[in-house]
Amino acid sequence: MVSRVLVEKNLKKAVLKAVNELGGFKKFIKKGDVVLLKPNFNTADPFPGSTDFEFLKTIVELVYECEPKMVILGDSSTMSLNTRKVMEKLKIFDLEKMKQPPRVYVFDERSWVKKEIPNGKYLKKVWLTHYLDKADKLILLPCLKTHFLSQFTGSLKLSMGFIKPFHRVHFHMKHLQEKIAELNKIIHPDLIIMDARRCFINKGPDKGKVANPDLILASKHRVAIDVEGIKIIQSFKGSSLKDINPLEIPQIKKSKEFGIS
C-alpha cells in the first residue's frame, strides 16, 4: 500500500495523515528505539535536488512524539563533494538546535562495515555505514526525481548514500540499476516517506525541469512507492519517463525478482 496525501497549507498535517493511513508512526516506532533517518544530501542543490529542511525537521518532530531513545540522521554525498560542506550549506546542523534535536552524522567521517550481498551477480560485497547496525528502525526519506544515469531515483537508489564513497566508482561503471537492486537486498527500511511536493521530470538528480505535484507519499514498500512516484512524474508533459512501463525499469524489475516489494 502507498498512501498519497495532497499538501495544502500544513506540511506536518499532510505527513501525519500519510503515515496514519498506514497505521501511524507508533506502528513503526516503539518507545526506546534508536531511529535512523536517511535523507538525500547527494549535493547541496535546492529541493528537490536534496531533502528540504522543513520536511526533515517535521519528520524529526513526529518521530520524537513516539518517545524513541534517540533520532539520528546522516548521509554521504557524491564522492566529488565534501558531505560536511554540503550539509553546512543546507543548514542541516541547525537541526541540533531543536528542543528535541537529532544527532546529525557525516557518514564519511565514521566507521564502515563490510557486507556480503547474497547471491550477488554484479555486486558481491559493499562497505556500509555502521549506523545501519546501530539503529533499531530505519526510515527512508527520498525526494522524487528523474536521474540521467538510472532513469529514476527514489527509495531504492537512496540507499547508495549508505555506501563508502570510493566504492561508488564501481557502482557507476556499468549495470548501475541492477546493482541498486542487489544493494537493497541488505537494506531493510521500516517506513518510507517521499517528499513529492516538487519533482524533477527530466534530467536529474541535481537539476531538471520542475513540476509541483504537492504530494506526500508513504509506504512500507520501496518498489511500490517508487512505482507510484514514477507514475506521478509520467503525468507531467515533458517527462523523460513518458511511455515507459515502470515495472520494466531495471532497478524496479530486478528488485521485484529479488522479492523486494
Q: Are 91 and 53 within 8 A, CB to CB? A: yes
Q: From residue 157, how far is each of 54, 91, 160, 191 by CA, in Å?
A: 22, 24, 6, 15
Q: How far does the chain reach from its first CA to its final CA, in angstroms?
A: 10
- The model's pTM is 0.97
CATH (residue range 2-257): 3.40.50.11440
Q: Which has the closest alpha carbon to 204: 50, 100, 30?
A: 50
Query: pLDDT (tens digit, 9 = 90+) per residue, 71-80?
Result: 999 999 998 8
pLDDT (tens digit per residue) in 185-203: 999 999 999 999 999 999 9
pLDDT at res. 224: 98
- How buried is residue 221: exposed, middle or buried, by Cβ count under 10 Å (0-12/13-18/19+)? middle
Per-residue pLDDT of the chain (261 residues; tens, 9 = 90+): 999 999 998 999 999 999 999 999 999 999 999 999 999 999 999 999 999 999 999 999 999 999 999 999 999 999 889 999 999 999 999 999 999 999 999 999 999 999 999 999 999 999 999 999 999 999 999 999 999 989 999 999 999 999 999 888 878 778 999 999 999 999 999 999 999 999 999 999 999 999 999 999 999 999 999 999 999 999 999 999 999 999 999 999 999 999 999
Burial 116-142 (b: 16+ CB within 10 A, else e): ebeebebbeebbbbebbeebebbbbbb
Domain boundaries of the chain, sorted by first residue: 2-257
Up-side HSE of residue 160: CA atoms within 13 Å toward CB?
29
pLDDT tens column, 201-246: 999 999 999 999 999 999 999 999 999 999 999 999 999 999 999 9
